Structure 1
């Protein structure tokens, strides 16, 4: 079996895509957050690989994947994941997305419901407007130059070491600084910095997130959804978990956890995902059912929608 540490590469549309793969069985697609890479999933991949084929790509513009001057919209990322899965010979997945990766996961499920069995959202973007000012600053003109100066060689090791030292303190505000240090170091690469800024410009501005799933959240009733958050998230408020379509979602807010609950509590996270899959049959896409739901919008009752369309009124 492949090791979690092994990174493989494949060309898709002429761009190198890096990914980690391990395990066997039904497929989980793990999508990391902004400025991170597939290594963020390393703490949970071995446990999940005991029952599933686990694929964790480096999104385009991140990690070991290429960083072209290209389209970094949510739709483009969803298309890229479909094409990667197609190249790898994989048809359907349970898609798991963290932070920005949660937005990609929702977009993937929206664009390709026939290929999506379930959705797991981890401290996800796309459920509300609020987000840390540090990310909002990426959209301010001139921020690229400022980040470039702040990540210069002589300064970079001092700053990253300081952040990792602070991360070891028993303080809510500093809990995630080890991950932030990794993102800070990655932003020293001008190509990744450009990609990250391109991503942010598609989903938020200095006021916060303007791309959300709230207008289409009723579609989640056709697909099992699990939401996991850390109570002490300083990046995206855990209160956003309350905005999930809870009538069809399993929602878990983990105590003593920040923006990376899969790293703070890997065993609990793997158990929650496994139990969610065990207790929820995969969604089965039917064009007539989706057409009926789209026509009725969020005014319908799921029980009245049959695979062929909307059941006629009785009585």
Structure 2
């Protein structure tokens, strides 16, 4: 039986925080990427809700949540996830973070490790400098106005032609044309576009990503971790998987061949199977304050340099 996913909201610190939820059992929190919303998980949430309590928030400034002039940093978003879990009386979760959401998941594990049982990083940010040229351009001062122009009929026609061309020439971004267009459509007003710009500028500038998780991810070495990446990701390069895996050797990497930046939308069934298998085959992390403090005191340098190409999971070899 397919579980019903409900749209709900709570007011926290005076702002509406929208989220989707359903099912029961061990909790999984799904954190979407920049400019997106909880709707990005529509294909997979009902399947996960058969066995789990699922919680998919709209980040502040995104989706149906409020869009104030506020803190849109990675740390601020992590605090928001902690507060929502507390309001919902959820003590511990498996985190599934996509793109920016992966960075938020890792930050949440760093700030509040006692809340985290496992982590699934999907095409995650924070593992290298590289990022799509389009996102770099979107950090420029006039970007919100340019996003507004993209909604004009003539601009929308031009954008459709450009995205169609990317698909015809078999550019990696062409794999995700429908989702990229969907995200542009999700920025209908000034407040949405300004929130998008503030969020993006907190993690990206014209030279690429400015926030890294590699300098402190050693603190999560006792947390089971799965990485899922499409090998045709045109937004955050697939080669970043190698850097992340080198910095977090406990991580398992599952590669979706032919998928782009949204592997859970390209193949929802396989995505659910991979995450469910990961949950069944790993024990939840236990919070060990003394061990965490020891790792922090001993420290670790920045993540190692990336090898030429990611090492694929043997199960996914052709």
Q: What TM-score do the two structures reach when normalised by structure 1?
A: 0.89
Tell me the CA shift for residue 159 of structure 1: 5.3
**Does structure 1 residue 3 correspond to structure 2 residue 20?**
no
CA contact (8 A) 1:35 1:187 kept: yes
1:136 partner SS: helix
Kindly indicate whether residue 208 of structure 2 is the aligned counterpart of residue 225 of structure 1: no
CA contact (8 A) 2:149 2:155 kept: no
User: 1:199 matched to which residue of 2?
Assistant: 199
Is the CA contact (8 Å cut-off) linking 1:220 and 1:248 kept in structure 2?
Answer: no
Q: CA RMSD in A?
A: 2.0
Residue 176 of structure 1 deviates from its aligned partner by: 0.5
For 2:97 and 2:269, how far apart are their aligned partners in 1?
Answer: 17
Which residue number corresponds to residue 268 of structure 2? 266
Residues 1:214 and 2:214 aligned together: yes
Structure 2: distance between partners of 1:273 and 1:114: 21
1:292 aligns with 2:294: yes
Unaligned runs of 5+ in 2: 302-318
Q: Deviations over 1:50-101 (max 9, x none)?
A: 1111111111101111101110001110000111111111111011100011
Give 3-state SS (helix, strand or coil) of 1:139's partner.
coil
Report what 1:257 is aligned to.
259
- The answer (yes or no) to whether the contact 1:226–1:249 under 8 Å persists in 2 is yes
Matches within 5 A, 1:80-159: 80-152=80-152, 154-155=153-154, 158=157
Cα deviations across residues 110-151 of structure 1 (Å, max 9, x unaligned)? 111000111110000001100001111121122222222222
- Asked if structure 1 preserves the Cα contact closer than 8 Å seen for 2:150 and 2:159, the reply is no
Whole-angstrom distance in 2 between the partners of 1:56 and 1:159: 33
**How far does residue 186 in structure 1 lie from its aligned partner after superposition?**
2.0
Give the ranges of 4+ consecutive aligned residues of structure 1 lying more than 4 Å apart after TM superposition.
159-170
User: Aligned residue pairs: how many?
Assistant: 297
With over 3 angstroms needed to count, the CA separation of the structure-2 counterparts of 1:130 and 1:270, relative to structure 1, is: same
- Give me the whole-angstrom Cα distance separating, in 1, the residues matched to 2:54 and 2:168: 32
CA distance in 1, matches of 2:86, 2:122: 25
| Unaligned segments of structure 1, at least 5 residues | 300-315
- Which TM-score applies when normalising by structure 2? 0.88
Q: Name the SS for the 1:218 alignment partner.
A: helix
Cα distance in 2 between the residues matched to 1:281 and 1:22: 23
Answer with 1 or 2: which has the greater Rg.
1
Q: Deviations over 1:197-219 (max 9, x none)?
A: 11111111100001101111212
